[in-house]
Amino acid sequence: MKKILIIGSGGAGKSTLARELGTVLGLEVIHLDAWYWNPGWVETPKAEWQSIVQDLTLRESWIMDGNYGGTLDVRLSVADTVIFLDFPRILYLA
């Protein structure tokens, strides 16, 4: 496992799992939220975002967490492992 993609609903624990796996496996953790949101919660323009994600996926190894449906196809095409956190909403909304 060199490129692990973690997806799932907001609040399901994607970032927490990514951090913990990163520590255990010694892989770089890429939190897409940190790359997408600019100061003042300003979104990255779509074309720029596509380019950023493409560049991030070219790295040798990583654990990447986040949804961002507009780039899911790019990330899925290079990931060797996908973890889908599919829990009942009541568990992470409470």
For CA atoms 46, 69, 41, 23, give the dihedral sign: negative
- Is residue 28 scored above 70 in pLDDT? yes
Provide the pLDDT for residue 94: 60
Question: Could you give the CA distance from residue 55 to residue 40 in angstroms, rounded to a whole number?
Answer: 24
Q: Which residue has the higher pLDDT, 12 or 58?
A: 58
What's the pLDDT score for residue 64? 98
Place 31 in a pLDDT band, splitting at 50, 70 and 90: very high
**Counting runs of H as helices and runs of E as strands, what totals does the chain give?**
5, 6
pTM of the model: 0.90
Q: Hey, which residues does 43 pair with through a beta bridge?
A: 37
Record the tokens describing residue 31, joined without a space. Answer: 């939190």
| Residue 57: pLDDT over 90 | yes
Task: Output the six-digit token pair for 38.
Answer: 């600019």
DSSP per-residue codes, 54-78: HHHHTSSSEEEE---GGGHHHHHHH
- Where does the pLDDT of residue 15 fall: very low under 50, low under 70, confident under 90, or very high at 90 and above? very high
Q: Is the pLDDT of residue 27 over 90?
A: yes
Spatial neighbors of 73 by CB under 8 A, at least 6 apart, are none
